[in-house]
């Protein structure tokens, strides 16, 4: 009885878990200051007039703010390396002023990719190519024609301009963006160290 979209969601969850990613469930509500960093180019921020909490009155325009908050909490508690993903909805303001929901998969790679040890030597951090590999694997599992995708720039101001890109089907259809998050953005979220991220649309 599952719809084709629900079947894809299940397949993506299983694939992400099989690739070593841990699923996170974050709030759909954000502080407006955190949501503002991701509102540009997403059709406008959706802010509630009568929120349950005044501190969480913006609907998330991206899954990355919630994942970055989870990264900060885990790193503060001594986690060495994090591989988190979430499959959920973004909430945007439509042309007619109504809410538009977009199903999205977000993931973050933070901390150590490989830990330091006598067998491995120095620890290694995640980079943009790790994010690209995750994006391509998940898109392939969703049925996207990965052999025909174009890698183009303009991942957005949240990403490092020299270490990020988009995966497109043609010049206008953006299926994903990936790369290293901008250091200025990470400072706003109190995250130390580099973080690679992916958003699958």
- CA separation for the pair 125, 135 (Å, rounded): 18
DSSP for 110-174, written as a single string? EEEEE--BTTTBS-EE--HHHHHHHHHHHHHHTT--GGG-EEES---TTEEEEEEEEEEETTTEE
Run of H or E including 61: none
- CA separation for the pair 21, 161 (Å, rounded): 25
pLDDT category of residue 113 using cuts at 50, 70 and 90: confident
Half-sphere exposure of 50 (CA within 13 A, CB side): 0
Run of H or E including 187: helix 183-188
- CA separation for the pair 37, 172 (Å, rounded): 23
Compute the average pLDDT of residues 11-17: 95
pTM of the predicted protein model: 0.89
**Pairwise pLDDT comparison (180 vs 99), residue with the higher score:** 180
* β 99-114/124-125 pair status: antiparallel
Look at the block and give the residue holding tokens 């999205």.
104
| Residues 167, 178 contacting (CB under 8 angstroms) | yes
Structure tokens at 25: 């469930």
Structure tokens at 104: 């999205």
pLDDT tens profile 57-85: 889 999 999 999 999 999 999 998 999 99
Burial group, residue 139, by CB count within 10 angstroms (0-12, 13-18, 19+): buried
Half-sphere exposure of 178 (CA within 13 A, CB side): 26
- CA separation for the pair 82, 194 (Å, rounded): 12
pLDDT tens profile 47-57: 888 888 888 88
pLDDT category of residue 153 using cuts at 50, 70 and 90: confident
The yes-or-no verdict on residue 35 having pLDDT over 80 is yes
- CA separation for the pair 197, 135 (Å, rounded): 9
């Amino acid at each position: 009885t599952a719809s084709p979209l629900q079947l894809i969601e299940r397949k993506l969850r299983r694939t992400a878990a099989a690739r070593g990613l841990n699923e996170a469930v974050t709030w759909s509500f954000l502080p407006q200051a955190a949501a503002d960093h991701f509102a540009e180019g997403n059709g406008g921020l959706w802010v509630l007039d009568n929120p349950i909490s005044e501190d969480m009155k913006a609907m998330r325009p991206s899954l990355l703010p919630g994942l970055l908050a989870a990264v900060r909490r885990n790193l503060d508690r001594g986690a060495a390396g994090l591989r988190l993903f979430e499959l959920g909805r973004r909430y945007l303001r439509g042309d007619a002023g109504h809410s538009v929901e977009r199903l999205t998969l977000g993931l973050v790679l933070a901390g150590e990719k490989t830990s330091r040890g006598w067998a491995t030597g120095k620890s290694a951090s995640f980079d943009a190519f790790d994010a690209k590999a995750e994006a391509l694997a998940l898109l392939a599992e969703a049925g996207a024609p990965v052999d025909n995708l174009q890698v183009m720039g303009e991942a957005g101001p949240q990403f490092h301009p020299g270490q990020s890109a988009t995966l497109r089907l043609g010049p206008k259809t953006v299926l994903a963006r990936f790369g290293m998050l901008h250091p200025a953005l990470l400072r706003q979220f109190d995250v130390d160290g580099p973080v690679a991220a992916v958003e699958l649309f």
